[in-house]
Amino acid sequence: MQENNNPFTQEYDVIIIGGGITGAGTARDCALRGLKVLLVERFDFTHGATGRNHGLMHSGARYAVTDQESATECIGENMILRQIARHCIEETDGLFVTLPDDDLDYQATFVDACLRAGINAEIIDPAEARVIEPSVNPTIIGAVRVPDASIDPFTLTTANLIDARRHGALALTYHEVIDLIVENACVIGVRLRNNLTGEISEAYAPVTVNAAGIWGTLVAKKAGVIINMFPAKGSLLIFGHRVNNMVINRCRKPANGDILVPDKIVSMLGTTSDRVPITEIDNMRVTPEEVEILLKEGVHLVPALARTRILRAYAGVRPLVASDDDPSGRSISRGIVCLDHKERDGMDGFVTITGGKLMTYRLMAERATDLVCKKIDKVGACTTAILPLPGSDEKTPKRRGNQHAVTMKAAQERHGSMTKEIKEKNTEDKAMVCECEHASVAEMKYAIEQLHVNNLTNLRRRTRMGMGSCQGKLCACRAALLLCKAGGDAQATLDDLASFMNERWKGMRPVAWGSTLSEAQLTTTIYEGLCGLTLKNKI
């Protein structure tokens, strides 16, 4: 989508590197405070850890015992997000359950720590827990109710970007920073490569914010700045339908596979935590051992998982930072890390915001923006904690008589009040593209026109097309047709379709047995057998 024909001749106050939730949140905050913002993302929004996490809106309870500071931050942000991002959140509440093998004494420690952090943790009768969450293991001996919830990181990022744009920010996807331009020990701009066209360009601003998550360590290196990061891989499993209504956690010290989060029509089980080399962060694979660990633990939480089809497995990388006085990485913080590289490394015009969690992205953005404002002598108060995001800022429009109830309801869950932008102009617009996620042609068109969509994967992240139980079996072909009609080249669109399906397969492969294998065979029978698709197509 074109917002400005000459983005590189403009002057900016700040350049933000990274199109994950941190970058998007920072772009919004900066733009709201009147700064002229350029955000650059090397692939697609939410391509990194933002698109590969649990979708869990922590109450903070998970950290209460081990990390009071994180817990306090979480519950504070939890309460704010319920106000400003309600269309991205499903207020499910959560349970921390104690199983017969667990130490019930831990529950008292846990509740006490929660209350100290300001988290409303309420011990309930296990019998009551079984009633409010029928999927939970019936043998539980203890249960605590906490204000956990389910949050959609894709729509949350989109909403932040839309608001940043409304306030003058420019966001460019597929623009990779290949160099930081340094003059007199000051970062004055970035050199960019358009990853779709290969074109090289430059943009300048007095401050550049490194919000590239785990990739931030590589970005900083371009200015000669060393940030000691420890990539921690977290693997998750998605189940084929929604098994639980509430978030279910294990009431014990955080360990593998002890959280099950409901996410619209599916359930997500996670996570593992393993250190991986920085060289592997672009190439995460879930191993059979990780699948086994997750399943073994998950079945303790919710026995029905043993009989539920696993849709796919995926892994993200947490951007953990070693504290500066401990380069060995023994004391790793999960807290927010905001670095002024002038003070730390003598490199002016450069700020890194990293560490933290999806939950605390707004606070991270606030700290980064405070620092940016300080560096360029701009006075402005942060308003992101009170101003609702687009989608949550107006009453959700009522469905008009001729609109489909099912597709409009699904669209409202994804776009909140922004559904007013989804226009059904003719009968084709009403047709359903994705039957699992109930996404209509009109919604696809809205995303293609307004939400930075270049390919099917972009479209999936904006509309959830292909994320449901069929994993793109027919909807991907239909969406490919829409992209082709919107001006795409037929051959390139078919290649895109093939790589989209290949990417879906990557997540299915670690769990390719049972019905998942049968589904995979059906998928290739349709795509390769019936449709004749290959990775490189010749039409």
Residues that bind other proteins (CB under 8 A): 288, 404-407, 426-428, 430-433, 435, 438, 441, 474, 477-478, 480-482, 484-485, 490-491, 493-494, 497-498, 501-502, 504-506, 509, 512-514, 517-535, 537-539
Could you give the residue ranges of the DSSP H alpha helices within 302-378?
Answer: 341-345, 361-375
Supply the minimum distance, in Å, between the C-beta of residue 454 and other proteins: 18
Task: Enumerate residues 6+ apart whose C-beta is below 8 A from 257.
Answer: 269, 270, 271, 272, 293, 294, 295, 296, 297, 298
Q: Which of 150, 152, 148, 151 is nearest to 96 (CA)?
A: 148
Token pair for residue 126? 């296990």
**Distance (Å, rounded) from C-alpha 109 to C-alpha 274?**
27
**Distance (Å, rounded) from C-alpha 22 to C-alpha 106?**
34
Supply the minimum distance, in Å, between the C-beta of residue 498 and other proteins: 6
Task: Enumerate residues 6+ apart whose C-beta is below 8 A from 434.
Answer: 463, 464, 465, 466, 468, 475, 478, 479
Q: Which of 73, 76, 113, 355 is nearest to 253 (CA)?
A: 113
- Of the pair 205, 477, the CB lying nearest other proteins is at 477
**Distance (Å, rounded) from C-alpha 24 to C-alpha 31?**
10
- Of the pair 20, 488, the CB lying nearest other proteins is at 488
Supply the minimum distance, in Å, between the C-beta of residue 472 and other proteins: 11
At residue 262, the 3 state secondary structure works out as strand
Supply the minimum distance, in Å, between the C-beta of residue 502 and other proteins: 5
Supply the minimum distance, in Å, between the C-beta of residue 521 and other proteins: 4
321 bridge partner residues: 229, 333
Q: Is the CB of residue 498 less than 8 Å from the CB of residue 534?
A: yes
Supply the minimum distance, in Å, between the C-beta of residue 431 and other proteins: 5
Supply the minimum distance, in Å, between the C-beta of residue 272 and other proteins: 17
- Rounded to the nearest angstrom, the gap between the alpha carbon of residue 83 and the centroid of all alpha carbons in its chain is 19
- Of the pair 120, 524, the CB lying nearest other proteins is at 524
- Of the pair 198, 401, the CB lying nearest other proteins is at 401
- Of the pair 288, 346, the CB lying nearest other proteins is at 288
Supply the minimum distance, in Å, between the C-beta of residue 368 and other proteins: 38
**Distance (Å, rounded) from C-alpha 130 to C-alpha 147?**
17
**Distance (Å, rounded) from C-alpha 452 to C-alpha 433?**
19
Supply the minimum distance, in Å, between the C-beta of residue 67 and other proteins: 36
Quickly tell me which residue has 């669209």 as its tokens: 411
- Of the pair 130, 399, the CB lying nearest other proteins is at 399
At residue 381, the 3 state secondary structure works out as coil
- Of the pair 4, 515, the CB lying nearest other proteins is at 515
Quickly tell me which residue has 């003719």 as its tokens: 426
- Of the pair 277, 401, the CB lying nearest other proteins is at 401
Task: Enumerate residues 6+ apart whose C-beta is below 8 A from 75.
Answer: 59, 60, 117, 118, 119, 147
- Of the pair 376, 406, the CB lying nearest other proteins is at 406
- Of the pair 66, 534, the CB lying nearest other proteins is at 534
Supply the minimum distance, in Å, between the C-beta of residue 436 and other proteins: 11
